[in-house]
Structures are given as structure tokens and as C-alpha cells.
Structure 1
């Protein structure tokens, strides 16, 4: 069964032709905090070549700490973040997992957190796999 999801206004929909993400976790980097307006971004890493996005997407390109570009995809109608795609790893897309369909996101089992160097001090969750920065 593919992974499916949509933005807040449902103008953008997507599907990923896989049964499950490669990994699911929390991204505590400052950029993700700002993009989501929250303490971290719940992310699901999927193969980029299996992701199909339909609808009015806008893209904003920023820089990762590595110096590589990161494209951030969002709905041009409601502004919901959909994914980010690092130029440093063109094999993956990093879905904003809160946009997955409800029955799918309820089954997620986050086990990894990255960029804990930027983790806000009041965030008390601790996942089994924890990385101070981006894992190599």
C-alpha cells in the first residue's frame, strides 16, 4: 500500500510507492523548527524516485550546514510544508510526516532524532537513535 498525504487545504496531494518510510524521526535543526513553527519536525524519509506530488507546489532553496542546497517544498495555496530534498543526497525526499494521511501517520514509529545540538531544552522526548548533528 503506498504512503499518501496532503496539505492542509488539500490542493497538494502526494503518494510514495513504498509500504513504509526508510526511517521516521524528529529533526531538531533550527530550519525545521522555523519551517514548522514547532519544537521539531516529524519526518519520514522516502525514496525520491518513488514520490509523486500533484498540485501547486512552490520551492524555496536554502543551504544546509554542509553548504549543499536544500529544496523545501510547500503548498502555494495554504503554505503547508510537504517535504525537503537535500542536494547532498538526491536519492531521498524528507516528508513532513504530519502531512501523511491520518491512518498512516498513526502507525509511524519514530526511533531517530537528528540535530539534537539544536534541541530545545524543554523538549523531553528521547528516541533510541540520537545524533548531535546530521548522521554520516
Structure 2
């Protein structure tokens, strides 16, 4: 079954023809904290060429830690963050896993933490694969 999801207002929908994400991670970077308004962003890494995205999206672009642009895709209607698309890693895109369809979200098994250098001190989760910055 493909991965599918949508924004809060359902104007933006997507599907990815893959059974499971390549990785599911807590992204502790400061940008994800700000974009999500929370302590981290739960992201699911998928092949970009398998993503079918529909609806009125907007993009905010800023440089990531690599010095290359990161395109943050969000719904143009309700503002829900949908994905971040780093130019430093062209074959993948990081979907905001909170936008997955409910039954799919329930099956996720996060095992990776990225940007633990920015992890807030009160976050007590410790996943199996921590990375101080981005994995290479």
C-alpha cells in the first residue's frame, strides 16, 4: 500500500508508491523546531521521484547546514508543513510524517535522530541511530 497523506485543510494531498519510508527520524534542527512549533519534526525520508504531490503548495527556501538551499514545502491554504527538500540530497525528500493518513502514521517506527546537537535538553527520547548533525 502506498504512503499517502494531506494537510490540515485537505487542499494538498500526496502519495508515494513505497511500502515504508527509507528512514523515519526525529529532526531536532532549529529550523524544524521553528517550522513545526514543537521540539522536533517527525520526518519520513522517501525517494523524491516516487512522490506525487497535488494542491496549492508554497515554498520557503533558506540555506541548510550544507550551505545549499533547503526548500520547505507547505500548504498555501492552511500553512501545514508538508516536506523539506534539501538540494544537498537530490534523490530524497523528507515528508512531515504528521501529515500521513492516520492509519499509516500508527505503523511508523522512528529509529533515527538527526541534529541531536540542537536537541532540547528536556527531550528524553534516545533512538537507536543518533546523529549529531546530518548523516553522510
Same fold (TM over 0.5): yes
The Cα shift of 1:56 comes to 0.3
Runs of 4+ in 1 over 2 A off after TM superposition: none
Match of 1:123 in 2: 123
**Which residue of the partner structure matches residue 26 of structure 1?**
26
Residues 6-28 of structure 1: CA distance to partner in whole angstroms, max 9, x if unpaired?
00000000000111100001000
Q: CA RMSD in A?
A: 0.4
What residue number does 2:41 align with? Answer: 41
Residue number in structure 1 paired with 2:6:
6
CA distance in 1, matches of 2:44, 2:57: 19
SS at match of 1:35: helix
1:16 aligns with 2:20: no
Structure 1 equivalent of residue 112 of structure 2:
112
Q: What's the TM-score, normalizing by structure 1?
A: 0.99
Equivalent residues in 2 for 1:36-115 (5 A)?
36-115=36-115
User: Within 2, Cα distance between the matches of 1:11 and 1:49?
Assistant: 21
TM-score, reference length from structure 2: 0.99
Using the TM superposition, give the Cα deviation of residue 135 of structure 1 relative to its aligned residue in structure 2, in angstroms: 1.1
| 1:19-59 deviation digits (Å, cap 9, x = unpaired) | 11000010000000000000000000000000011000001
Q: Distance in 2 between matches of 1:123 and 1:89?
A: 27
CA distance in 2, matches of 1:25, 1:87: 19
Displacement of 1:65: 1.0
List runs of 5+ in structure 1 lacking aligned partners: none
2-structure distance, mates of 1:128, 1:20: 18
Cα displacement (A) at 1:118:
0.3
